[in-house]
Amino acid sequence: MPMPAPVNAWAASGLVTLSGRPEGPPLVPPGRAPLVAHELAERFAAFTSVRVDGPRLLSERAAYTRRGRRGPVSVGGHCRLLPTADGWAAVSCARPDDPALLGALASARVDDDPWPAVGAWLRDHTGDELAERAELLGVAAGPVRGPAGRRPVPTPLAPRSLDGALVVDFSALWAGPLCAHLLGLAGARVVKVETPDRPDGARRGDPGFYELLHAGHRSVVLDPTTHDGRREMASLVDAADIVIEASRPRALARFGLDADAAAAAGTVWVSITAYGRADDRIGFGDDVAAASGLVCREADGTPLFCGDAIADPLTGLTAAVLAATAPANGGGVLWDVAMSDVVAATLDPGDDACSIAAVRSGDGWFVETGDGLVPVAEPARRNAS
């Protein structure tokens, strides 16, 4: 398929309408994320004959939740962009325990609303101080900075057949399940594994979107605190052709599951983390994208969120392409897929300029391009296959 122009790709992706302040015009985000998603989808189609619209996948969840742009608050409502003593930071409060953790970060007693205390603490502390405390406490937060120092995203190997391949999916939320979903569309058998005390948090979200990503998959709940649960987990991993995890490596290691050993035995192991397997920080789609520099900018430099947790679907697409390949000798591989690296690879120096605003014409929004006005698309649902 032909490659669209960058601004046209943003307008068609459904992401522009999710970017900017609710009371203002939609904004065109920086970089090439929709073009990268287009390239990934084309490559996945070449490997598997499964064709999806990569740019549209990036805004797909919002078509189910029907949520729109909220400026310094993420579309999902769980992440905020707040000023620090030396810039800006993205801070998430998505898990039941996060208000208490954010209270500890701010050294303050909080109730269910930690934001006043967190905002006051950030104004007196730098982004580096936030990053240090966030890692110590296991809080998903980080300073908003550009793509400098990024690592390259892994390069796919030789395509492999996915027909009948067993995928064991330990992931949750969006990135990992999207990867598993795409592999399932390509003929893989997917088994989703959850634990009694850590069910997939996406189950609390839109049921239609959850069903889209998990239709046709088997689901099992295994208790790693019991001998039988650990044995069944190990048996699944031993039988798997592909394993997907989306947590810090120590999580599955505590259950006796060794990614390096599995890869050495011939398994394709896809490890999705916020900042890489060697980094103990955690992160979710909104805060990782913002911390990696993917934010819209107002004229005074104020950052605003781009899209809806855009690091998640970008990483899910990337992981699916990698999982569809393996060493030519039939061996295994451990794919270290950092959401921050995936996002940073869509940006270039200078992508922190003031964002282009859409213009109103009639009942819709349009983006001005060299070819005239291009309509801003709304997020759209995709039927499960």
Count of H helices and E strands in the chain?
A: 15, 18
Whether residues 161 and 192 share a domain: the answer is yes
The Cα 175–Cα 17 span in angstroms is 22
Whether residues 139 and 187 share a domain: the answer is no
Q: Which of 116, 143, 170 is the last residue of a domain?
A: 143
Written as tens digits, the pLDDT of the chain (385 aa) is 444 568 899 999 999 999 999 999 999 999 999 999 999 999 999 999 999 999 999 999 999 999 999 999 999 999 999 999 999 999 999 999 999 999 999 999 998 899 999 999 999 999 999 999 999 999 999 999 876 667 899 999 999 999 999 999 999 999 999 999 999 999 999 999 999 988 999 999 999 999 999 999 999 999 999 999 999 999 999 999 999 999 988 888 888 899 999 999 999 999 999 999 999 999 999 999 999 999 999 999 999 999 999 999 999 999 999 999 999 888 999 999 999 999 999 998 777 788 999 999 888 999 988 778 999 999 999 864 4
Q: Does residue 287 lie within any of the structural domains?
A: no
Q: Does residue 21 lie within any of the structural domains?
A: yes
Q: How many folded domains does the chain comprise? A: 2
DSSP 314: H
Cα angle 134, 349, 336; round to 5: 50
Whether residues 11 and 89 share a domain: the answer is no
**Structural domain of 321:** 6-66+150-279+306-344
Whether residues 231 and 332 share a domain: the answer is yes
The pLDDT score that the predictor gives to residue 362 is: 87
The Cα 244–Cα 220 span in angstroms is 15
The Cα 91–Cα 1 span in angstroms is 38
Whether residues 337 and 216 share a domain: the answer is yes
Whether residues 84 and 135 share a domain: the answer is yes
Whether residues 88 and 190 share a domain: the answer is no
Q: Does residue 363 lie within any of the structural domains?
A: no
Whether residues 47 and 157 share a domain: the answer is yes
**CATH assignment at residue 316:** 3.40.50.10540
Whether residues 22 and 103 share a domain: the answer is no
Whether residues 33 and 110 share a domain: the answer is no
The Cα 202–Cα 199 span in angstroms is 9
- Residues in Cβ contact with 332 at an 8 Å cutoff, skipping those fewer than 6 apart: 262, 263, 264, 265, 266, 267, 268, 269, 326
The pLDDT score that the predictor gives to residue 253 is: 87
Q: Which of 110, 143, 176 is the last residue of a domain?
A: 143
The pLDDT score that the predictor gives to residue 4 is: 54
Say which residue the tokens 């809080």 belong to. 139
Q: Does residue 136 lie within any of the structural domains?
A: yes
Whether residues 224 and 316 share a domain: the answer is yes
Q: Which of 120, 143, 166 is the last residue of a domain?
A: 143
- Residues in Cβ contact with 4 at an 8 Å cutoff, skipping those fewer than 6 apart: 12, 34, 35, 38
The pLDDT score that the predictor gives to residue 161 is: 94
Whether residues 119 and 196 share a domain: the answer is no
